[in-house]
Structure 1
Amino acid sequence: MTFVDVDGTEAETHFTVVHRAWRSRGLSIAVKAASVLVLAAEGVTRFRTGGSADNTAILRANDAVGYVRDEEWVTLAQDAR
């Protein structure tokens, strides 16, 4: 499943998930790519998405679909001392 907000010709994917039993089979790539194809056919011209640096699978899926990283989040966390 992928959840996308569309505003005119812009779309932002908030998340893409695949059931644990079906992971590592390329489904997240297929779901993201299908969403881009359908939305592009409906006139969307700008697509944005994200992904945690800890989630290498979704980062690989984003790369495979053709997303280009143009910014990165910076996270501040309290030291666990």
Structure 2
Amino acid sequence: MLHEEARPLVLVVSDSLGDTAFAVLRAARALMGRIGCMVIKTDRKAIEESAAEIIGHLDHVLSQRSTRECGSAK
């Protein structure tokens, strides 16, 4: 699993693409889960909602990084 701050962001646009595409998405999600990617489902969401989720994740990562850096500086 990748370190928390190194996780790539991956957007999944839609599940309504047909059986073959759905199978590919399911396999991709399984792979992304194994390597620790953050997956954001964007279907039935406003772009602002997806953006807020990404920003929240980045705020969390930066907060943890800041806490670690302050702790190691002592």
Normalising by the residue count of structure 1, what TM-score does the alignment of the two structures yield? 0.36
More helix by share: 2
Normalising by the residue count of structure 2, what TM-score does the alignment of the two structures yield? 0.38
Q: Which has the higher contact order (CA 8 A, sep 6+)?
A: 2
